[in-house]
Structure 1
Amino acid sequence: MGENQKLVQYQWFDQQVKAGRYPNATTLAQQFEVVTKTAQRAIDYMRDQLNAPLQYNSTRKGYFYTDNTFVLPASEPTQEEMLAILLAQNILANSAQGVISQQIKSFGRKLFGKNGLFGVTEKRFREAFSSSWNEYAPAQGQVFKTVMKALIENRLLTFIYTSPRDQQPKERTVEPHHLQHYMGSWGVIAFCHLRGEWRSFMLSRMRDVEMKSDTFVPKPRSQWKNQMEGGFGIFQGGQLILVRLHFNPFRAPWIREQIWHKDQQIEELNDGSLILSFPVCQFHEVKMRILQYGGDVVVLEPEKLKQEVLEGARVICRNYDENIF
């Protein structure tokens, strides 16, 4: 039996239940000219896999819903769609104290049902896939839920925010527009009433987060998209500057595998080295990334970034020469 035909059966049975007609395997079999065992399997599938709250009434000799708000899924998810959902659970397992992962996990258990999903048990799936992050700033679960709710409902958000730069806690009132997951950390792009401009706030630096009753009218994406796209890394919002980095033949094979920016360009050189070019808005993050590769990379341009990397390298050398630790 084709998947479309099965879906038609589920829809018909759902309609009969909602109409209070107490359908059963016999009536389903008669309607679609199938054997009763096949019809019963369809009912069992609706209950066990589609989570239909079906219960049998022995007096009426048919089924009814214990929850009349149940809505039958529009179509059965494909194997690839189900796999993507379960992989998302693994990827976000430690994000925002597992708030998102727990919700996906609940749905995932329903997908697995009693007999597993396309031949794989839930335990085997957990053992087969994993993800890991490092150097990320975890957000508190309650903070994430409050920010997400304020964003969805277009409500003002207040919180105490401490930047690692000045370490001075400041009260902020913002209009949240976009939640961004970057390298394991969560940030919210919002219009800040204190500064009168768009800012990106890391959820890990927030405390005393409160969603207000006041609402706001969401502004078009064109007004805030420069806070999340354009240049390399998380630091956005400024003028784009082209960076060109020369990687030696030893490091080049690793760099060829990587995507630093969607608009990057790679120039191959005869000696096996390469030049990687991409735009940035600020030097802070890319400078740390360059220093990570030590002597395997040289900044070709811009000159200002080259000098900042040189100064960083000099500080490292002085620290070791002076044995300050």
Structure 2
Amino acid sequence: MEITKRFHRILAIYFQLQGRSVVKAQDLADRFDVSLRTIYRDMRSLEEAGIPIYGEAGSGYSLTEGYKLPPTSFTQEEILSLAASEKLMQKFVDPNMCRHFTTAIGKIRSYLRYSDKSNIMVLEENMWMSSPSALFNEKVPDALSVLFEAIAARKIVAMAYRAVDRDEANQRHIEPVGVYHEGNFWYFLAYCHLRETYRNFRIDRIEAIKLTADSFTKAHKPLSHYLERKEHNDLVTVRIRIDREFARYLQWERSYYGFLHDEKDGDHVIMTFHSHNMEQEFARWYLRFADHATILEPPTLKDAVRQILNKIHL
């Protein structure tokens, strides 16, 4: 059993090496939940099997340039996941990127057996995704593609961006660091030359975008570095008590508002959240079910709800 497990791990490591330019030993150890010593031993096994691996201290492992094995066979589960991923791409990425993905999937399909192609067709006919129109500005259908290209090529982007508190867009030159999906929207973090600091932007508020020929002026850390710092600095802990019978209706939305966990409390459920925007976003969401809930903490959330209620004209 242990030998079989190790074989599958070594094979998975090889596919990681095939799919990435550089793979770090620590990332592999974390992925497979083993020690660094185990990863080093697995790498030696691959080298002994004739796989030309290049390793550099502090950088990682990579395959020698030009070395590739012929296309491998796919399991039925992997093949069906390709069809599902194409549907998800249609919903969550811009039309330009979706076209590229569809072309790539088409090339993979050309290697599949007839029965596998038939299975994909059956799955496609029985999957449906709602329109993704809210994710992108219709005037800029390729915004996500441009940002991905800029991140990969380390090129500055020129864009017209309309902030939530402005009626008109202003021109900005940015250095995109990374893109992330949160709630119902795509966001990206970038160094803004106008503000001379890092800012978060929402993709559907871009009104024009263009990749320039100018290279980045700074060396940026990975996206995770900035998001982790944002998590620590901006989060507010919120606890609310909700009628137990009503709480089940919130399970599809609560993750958008920073849901952490819940606990039963007699006829109620106590939910705990980490909120990024407590005074506006969370307070307005709370009003949708306020007649079935009580705010436990913080007191400032109660004040925010009262301020909204005082502005209501009936």
TM range (shorter): 0.5 to 0.7
**CA shift at 1:307, angstroms?**
1.7
Distance 1:119 1:295, change over 3 A: same
Distance 1:100 1:115, change over 3 A: same
**Aligned counterparts of 1:291 and 1:101: Cα–Cα separation in 2:** 37
| Residue 143 in structure 1 maps to residue 143 in structure 2 | yes
Relative to structure 2, which stretch is displaced further, 162-171 or 130-139? 130-139
3-state SS of 2:114 partner? coil
Residue pair 1:177, 1:189 contacting (<8 A) in 2 also: yes
Structure 2 counterpart of 1:279, from 264, 274, 280: 274
**Aligned counterparts of 1:143 and 1:134: Cα–Cα separation in 2:** 14
| Residue 247 in structure 1 maps to residue 235 in structure 2 | no
> 1:83-98 counterparts in 2 under 5 A?
83-98=80-95
Indicate the residue corresponding to 1:300 in structure 2: 296
**CA shift at 1:96, angstroms?**
4.4
Indicate the residue corresponding to 1:100 in structure 2: 97
**Aligned counterparts of 2:199 and 2:288: Cα–Cα separation in 1:** 28
Q: In the TM superposition, what whole-angstrom CA distance separates every residue of 1:45-74 from its partner, at most 9, and x where no partner exists?
A: xxxxxxxxxxxxxxxxxxxxxxxx9x7655
Distance 1:183 1:77, change over 3 A: farther
Residue pair 2:91, 2:129 contacting (<8 A) in 1 also: no
In the superposition, the TM-score normalised over structure 1's length comes to 0.64
* 2:231 alignment partner AA: G
Residue pair 2:241, 2:294 contacting (<8 A) in 1 also: yes
**Aligned counterparts of 1:116 and 1:292: Cα–Cα separation in 2:** 49
**Aligned counterparts of 2:160 and 2:259: Cα–Cα separation in 1:** 36
Q: In the TM superposition, what whole-angstrom CA distance separates every residue of 1:212-255 from its partner, at most 9, and x where no partner exists?
A: 2221244123652247x627xxxxxx432210111112212334
**CA shift at 1:158, angstroms?**
1.4
| Residue 75 in structure 1 maps to residue 72 in structure 2 | yes
**CA shift at 1:275, angstroms?**
0.8
**CA shift at 1:191, angstroms?**
1.1
**CA shift at 1:134, angstroms?**
7.3
3-state SS of 2:119 partner? coil
> 1:179-258 counterparts in 2 under 5 A?
179-216=179-216, 217-221=218-222, 223-226=225-228, 230=231, 238-255=233-250
> 1:150-169 counterparts in 2 under 5 A?
150-169=150-169
Residue pair 2:80, 2:120 contacting (<8 A) in 1 also: no
**Aligned counterparts of 1:295 and 1:106: Cα–Cα separation in 2:** 51
Structure whose CA Rg is larger: 1
Indicate the residue corresponding to 1:117 in structure 2: 116
**Unpaired stretches in structure 2, ≥5 consecutive residues:** 1-65
Residue pair 1:154, 1:218 contacting (<8 A) in 2 also: no
Distance 1:144 1:173, change over 3 A: same
Distance 1:110 1:135, change over 3 A: closer
**CA shift at 1:202, angstroms?**
1.7
- Alignment RMSD: 3.2
Indicate the residue corresponding to 2:261 in structure 1: 265
Residue pair 1:95, 1:185 contacting (<8 A) in 2 also: no
**CA shift at 1:262, angstroms?**
7.3
**Aligned counterparts of 1:121 and 1:248: Cα–Cα separation in 2:** 44
* 2:277 alignment partner AA: Q
**Aligned counterparts of 1:131 and 1:269: Cα–Cα separation in 2:** 37
Distance 1:82 1:141, change over 3 A: farther
In the superposition, the TM-score normalised over structure 2's length comes to 0.66
Residue pair 1:173, 1:192 contacting (<8 A) in 2 also: yes
